[in-house]
Amino acid sequence: MTKLSVNINKIATLRNARGGNVPNVLTAAINCQLFGADGITVHPRPDERHIRYNDVLEIKPLITTEFNIEGFPSEEFITLVLIVKPDQVTLVPDPHDAITSNAGWDTFRNKIFLTKIVSEFRNASIRTSLFVDTNPVNIENAALILADRIELYTEPYASGFNKSAIEAVEPFIRAAEIARNAGLGINAGHDLSLENLRYFHENIPWIEEVSIGHALISDALYLGLENTIQMYKRQLA
């Protein structure tokens, strides 16, 4: 079964636009779980323009499914993760001013840096995932770094889906096979939607988890949060 982890960053973005606590991020996390989400994902950034570090601390006790914290492994981020001890940490190579994640790790060039951090999280019994593209070198080095999983950066699939779904998904099938053969668990995320999720899952049914935020929260504005979560889960059935 492929799990659906709901990224609630966009709810925090809306809250921060006016200050105060509306919409309530903690309530959103609780409701996502009640409505069927298999996990909650947050991605705190240094400028705290959406999820704040304090949000992460407050959300953790409320999680009854799985908690995934994404982010660039700065000293502040590493400290936060070690305090919170989520089920999973997903390391992404975002610069501090990135609007959203837009590339995977070069795990060859960053091998020493990532190995040290992954080791630290593994020693704390935190499952570690590395955000990567479909380049076999990056996947193979993720295994050498001793990451537990990779998260495939799926924006190229999403952007090519309407032009040729078969061509768009093929590199991801190959990448997922390489990862599976290397003993890595496989997650996926970025621009997955109701339009393209089912086809992706049908071609790579052994994906363990998808993390979806922007499209899901946007759909919820029209369809309702509970209905939207259930619609996404049906794409993974």
| Contact by Cβ (8 Å): 57, 30 | no
The 3-class secondary structure across the chain, one letter per residue, is: CCEEEEECHHHHHHHHHHCCCCCCHHHHHHHHHHCCCCEEEECCCCCCCCCCHHHHHHHHHHCCCCEEEEECCCHHHHHHHHHHCCCEEEECCCCCCCCCCCCCCCCCCCHHHHHHHHHHHHHCCCEEEEEECCCHHHHHHHHHCCCCEEEEECHHHHHHCCCCHHHHHHHHHHHHHHHHHCCCEEEEECCCCCCCHHHHHHHCCCCCEEEECHHHHHHHHHHCHHHHHHHHHHHCC
Identified catalytic residue from 70, 151, 201, 209 = 70
Does the active-site annotation cover 190?
yes
- CA angle at residue 198 from 67 to 188, to 5 degrees? 40
Does the active-site annotation cover 96?
no
Identified catalytic residue from 50, 66, 151, 190 = 190
Identified catalytic residue from 43, 66, 201, 209 = 43
Backbone angles phi and psi of 153, in degrees to 5: -80, 105
User: What distance in Å separates the CA atoms of residue 49 and residue 66, rounded to the nearest whole number?
Assistant: 24
Residue numbers annotated as active site: 43, 70, 190
